[in-house]
Amino acid sequence: MPDSSSEPDDETVDAVGKLVFALETVEQARGHLYAFHHLTGTADFALGEAVDGLRKAGHAEWAERIETELIGLNVLPDRWTFQLIEEYDDGYYAAFRGMTRDVADDLTGGRRHLHEERIKRRRRTEGRPGHEMGRPSG
């Protein structure tokens, strides 16, 4: 870990910045996975309404077929979407977050956004309201 009196070199800051960017991309992918989970569940419940409508309209055979073949169907072998999320969160996502935290702790004193912090320092107007530096990243 760098000592508190010195800043990491630019190459280290850039590399950790790229790692953090990769984690942020994984965070977005995780959000899409949750959206997939919610949309799939919403569709499954809408199927129930379609089944009710088909029965009322006199199409009991189609209603029965949708109810038994499609409602509750696994999205992947042996998996509903909540199981995908749990496995993703506990495996890949946890490993990625943990590695990013460990690298930042070791190489930048835990400052994950040191790259952006340096950009802010260069781009802000010293003394102008709304341009305060604020606390360091962490």
Q: In angstroms, what CA-CA distances link 116 with 17, 20, 58, 119, 137?
A: 8, 11, 63, 5, 9
pLDDT for residue 114: 84
Nearest C-alpha neighbor of 37 from the set 81, 1, 78, 94:
81
3-state secondary structure of 76: strand
CA angle 29, 33, 39 (to 5 degrees): 135
- How confident is the prediction for the chain on average, in pLDDT? 91
Average pLDDT value for residue range 4-17:
85
Closest CA to 104 of 22, 31, 5: 22
The 10s digit of each residue's pLDDT in 56-98 is: 999 999 999 999 999 999 999 999 999 999 999 999 999 999 9
State the sign of the Cα–Cα–Cα–Cα dihedral 107, 108, 111, 112.
negative
What's the CA gap between 115 and 108, in Å, rounded?
10
Quick one: what percent of the chain has pLDDT higher than 70?
A: 95
DSSP H stretches of helix in 57-132: 60-69, 81-88, 94-108, 114-123
Rounded-to-integer distance, Cα 110 and Cα 127, Å: 27
